[in-house]
Amino acid sequence: MRVVRMGTQTVNLLYPPGIVSSATIVGKKEAEGPLGEYFDEVMPDSLWGEKSWEKAECKMFQQAAEMALEKANKKPTDINYLFGGDLLNQIIAANFAARALEIPFYGMYGACSTLVQCLSLASMLIGSGCAQCALCVTTSHFCTAERQYRFPLELGTQRCPTAQWTVTGAGGFVLHENSSGPYVTHVTTGKVIDFGIKDISNMGAAMAPAAADTINAHFKDTSRTVDDYDLIITGDLGRFGGVLAEELLLKAGHDISGKHIDCGCEIFSIKQDVQAGGSGCGCCAVVFGGYILSRISDSTFKRVLLLSTGALLSPVSSQQGESIPGIAHAVCIQKDR
Amino acid sequence: MRVVRMGTQTVNLLYPPGIVSSATIVGKKEAEGPLGEYFDEVMPDSLWGEKSWEKAECKMFQQAAEMALEKANKKPTDINYLFGGDLLNQIIAANFAARALEIPFYGMYGACSTLVQCLSLASMLIGSGCAQCALCVTTSHFCTAERQYRFPLELGTQRCPTAQWTVTGAGGFVLHENSSGPYVTHVTTGKVIDFGIKDISNMGAAMAPAAADTINAHFKDTSRTVDDYDLIITGDLGRFGGVLAEELLLKAGHDISGKHIDCGCEIFSIKQDVQAGGSGCGCCAVVFGGYILSRISDSTFKRVLLLSTGALLSPVSSQQGESIPGIAHAVCIQKDR
């Protein structure tokens, strides 16, 4: 037996795949933030030599994938599956990069929850023996996200305090069945949760209930508590959403406040004028791939619960009066088996 | 050992999951086509009592899911994972339906290849022991696809002969580890293939190379030939794309012409003025879920290779001068173990 189902939403991988390598690419603003030193590459500008921001985002995806492969000393032909996604309509950054990579490809869409969705599926396929090696990549770009979801950048529209700043960044991860770790030991898959938030400038509030629901499910399924983790990391709830998730979990009997960080809060300093913090598929990818994995490597953290959280809206759904549901997936990552 | 990797792109499931139930919902035009009698439910009109076509599409997804559950005698809490997707930006039909279903959810985007992407991942998770039961649902809607990808319907824009007609339809499938079949025995995962087609009215040509590549990989990985199959089914290559795929495979030494059908060609008759045939996430879902599964059930077909094929473009990528890459995934489905 290689896998054990626990409770209703969790799988325990008895032969946990290891994260062999990670590669991170960020924009200038992200590099100027408090975690700047942890990222592998910094784009000189938002176009990176391309003719459009969308093409630059595609290049970020591809370069993060290639850098992760190189660090893992793997060729594309060594990889059984590429799991990837982004925030663009029809995930064109991922699709066009996958064309160049020539690896069997599954396109994912979970909004900002996509990174852990990719890590979850890759880990389950490797842990269960369906694959030996997989590559997970997600990306987001401030300029493409703004113009697709919100306003043309040229308008200079004022942002409200609860708004979040889409991170320009891409993270790539190679997972393998044989590795010296860190290991993905548990996968907790989230449900779509909706508390009726309709404010498209307050994604943190829309995603917080999903994050709380998945963390709660993980604790219930595994009979673990906050004490079993050195750190609980949410993807991009931001300053307001993060507090809301903590409050919801406190009501459920779990005080995570002393051990919780949010990638959206870590990547920028308050001085950088990013309102409630960072967001996007790339936010969690670069903070986890850069900062967190470094701190696991130096044994600062030995076991963490990583969540990425997605707001499942589109401009069309909001214009049609829909609220904003959220989803969050979690993986337990630990330094040693 | 529960799974065996074969060649570079295929997994053989030694404990193959079974398709316990399928449910199909179609629009009026689809019901008037040659396969009309095989579908479970026909929408009276394109809005189905909703205020927008997008909300109608979401309702189709949800109802197909609920009908598949009911036919399988399962509750949402019996399902470990819901895999689903559609063609809308940010897959809002799937996301909003998943909110109502309350099943742990992975959102998929593979354009029209999404059905077999869902079946592939669900089958691998069940076959390898990560799950007992999963639900796969995909949907498409002519009116939402036209206005998102092409022109406002109100313009009555003339269509060219190579254009395809997005099927209004949704298909839901329950897969379980214990079942009397039919069984998903092999999963062949496709790569993104691009022959440089830029004509957005000729998706069949854009997808044909991917279909041929995946069929060829499946034969190579499994050491099987056309003779091992009663039928090879492509999702929505249409009248022109289907012939192109056959020609490409003939060059590779496989003459599939006598055993190949395309769901896009089957669902409408030429008299229905649909140019090159049907397309969309729902096309393959309803033809497979309605017609093909009936013919497997009555033993007309005992082993089929099912592919769904996706054109990985967006209006933005086309406007920026990009070509249209394609992807195709395949599963082998057989009546008996």
CB contact under 8 A, A109 and B107: yes
Q: What DSSP assignment string belongs to B162-210?
A: T--EE--EEEEEEEESS-SS-EEEEEEPPPPB------TT-HHHHHHHH
Q: How far apart are CA B263 and CA B267, in angstroms?
A: 6
pLDDT interval class at B282 (50, 70, 90):
very high
CB contact under 8 A, A92 and B194: no
CB contact under 8 A, A312 and B131: no
> What single DSSP character describes residue B110?
B
CB contact under 8 A, A322 and B96: yes
State pLDDT tens for residues A212-261: 999 999 999 999 999 999 999 999 999 999 999 999 999 999 999 999 99
List the single best residue of B148, B317, B323, B329 to mutate versus A (max A Cβ within 10 A): B317
Residue located via tokens 């986890």: A288
> What single DSSP character describes residue B108?
B
Tokens read off for A109: 């869409």
Q: Which CATH superfamily is domain A183-334 in?
A: Stage V sporulation protein AD (3.40.47.40)
Query: Which burial class, exposed, middle or buried, applies to B223 when counting CB atoms under 10 A from its CB (0-12, 13-18, 19+)?
Result: exposed
Chain B's closest residue to A87, CA to CA, is B90
State pLDDT tens for residues B229-255: 999 999 999 999 999 999 999 999 999
Contacts of B95 in chain A (CB under 8 A): 192, 312, 325, 327
CB contact under 8 A, A125 and B129: no
| Nearest by CB: B104 against A2, A9, A314 | A9
C-beta contacts of A268-272 below 8 A and 24+ residues apart: A268/A29, A268/A30, A268/A33, A268/A34, A268/A165, A269/A33, A269/A34, A272/A29, A272/A32, A272/A33
What pLDDT is stored for residue A271 in this prediction? 94
What pLDDT is stored for residue A172 in this prediction? 98
pLDDT interval class at A313 (50, 70, 90):
very high
CB contact under 8 A, A106 and B121: yes
| Nearest by CB: A108 against B98, B108, B314 | B108
pLDDT interval class at B34 (50, 70, 90):
very high
Whether B183-334 and B3-176 are alike in CATH topology: the answer is yes
What pLDDT is stored for residue B337 in this prediction? 86
What pLDDT is stored for residue A337 in this prediction? 86
Q: How far apart are CA B68 and CA B171, in angstroms?
A: 8
Contacts of A102 in chain B (CB under 8 A): 191-192
Chain B's closest residue to A102, CA to CA, is B191
Chain B's closest residue to A118, CA to CA, is B106
Asked whether this complex has an ipTM greater than 0.95, the answer is yes
Spatial CA neighbour of A173 closest among A11, A10, A13, A306? A306
CB contact under 8 A, A104 and B190: yes
CB contact under 8 A, A130 and B193: no
Which residues partner with A136 through β-bridges? A83, A173
Chain A's closest residue to B324, CA to CA, is A96
State pLDDT tens for residues B89-136: 999 999 999 999 999 999 999 999 999 999 999 999 999 999 999 999
State pLDDT tens for residues B167-222: 999 999 999 999 999 999 999 999 999 999 999 999 999 999 999 999 999 999 99
CB contact under 8 A, B109 and A90: yes
CB contact under 8 A, B124 and A117: no
| Nearest by CB: B89 against A85, A89, A121 | A89
Chain A's closest residue to B129, CA to CA, is A3
Distance in Å, alpha carbon of B215 to nearest chain A alpha carbon: 13
> What single DSSP character describes residue A300?
S
Query: Using an 8 Å Cβ cutoff, are B4 and B11 in contact?
Result: yes
State pLDDT tens for residues A78-132: 999 999 999 999 999 999 999 999 999 999 999 999 999 999 999 999 999 999 9
Q: Which CATH superfamily is domain B3-176 in?
A: Stage V sporulation protein AD (3.40.47.40)
Distance in Å, alpha carbon of A286 to nearest chain B alpha carbon: 22
Distance in Å, alpha carbon of B136 to nearest chain A alpha carbon: 15
List the single best residue of B9, B141, B192, B322 to mutate versus A (max A Cβ within 10 A): B192
Contacts of A131 in chain B (CB under 8 A): 5, 11
CB contact under 8 A, A92 and B132: no
What are the boundaries of each domain within chain B? 3-176, 183-334
Residue A328 has pLDDT above 90, yes or no: yes
State pLDDT tens for residues A293-309: 999 999 999 999 999 99
**pTM to 2 decimals?**
0.98
Spatial CA neighbour of B329 closest among B161, B83, B57, B144? B83
Distance in Å, alpha carbon of B307 to nearest chain A alpha carbon: 14
Contacts of A127 in chain B (CB under 8 A): 130
Query: Using an 8 Å Cβ cutoff, are B118 and B106 in contact?
Result: no
Q: Is the peptide bond before B16 cis (omega within 30 degrees of 0)?
A: no
What pLDDT is stored for residue A1 in this prediction? 87
Contacts of B192 in chain A (CB under 8 A): 95-96, 98-99, 102, 105
Chain B's closest residue to A93, CA to CA, is B317
List the single best residue of A54, A62, A95 to mutate versus B (max B Cβ within 10 A): A95
Distance in Å, alpha carbon of B119 to nearest chain A alpha carbon: 12
Residue B238, CA atoms < 13 Å, CB-side half-sphere: 27
Contacts of A111 in chain B (CB under 8 A): 90
How large is the average pLDDT for residues A131-147?
97
Contacts of A98 in chain B (CB under 8 A): 191-192, 327
What pLDDT is stored for residue B38 in this prediction? 98
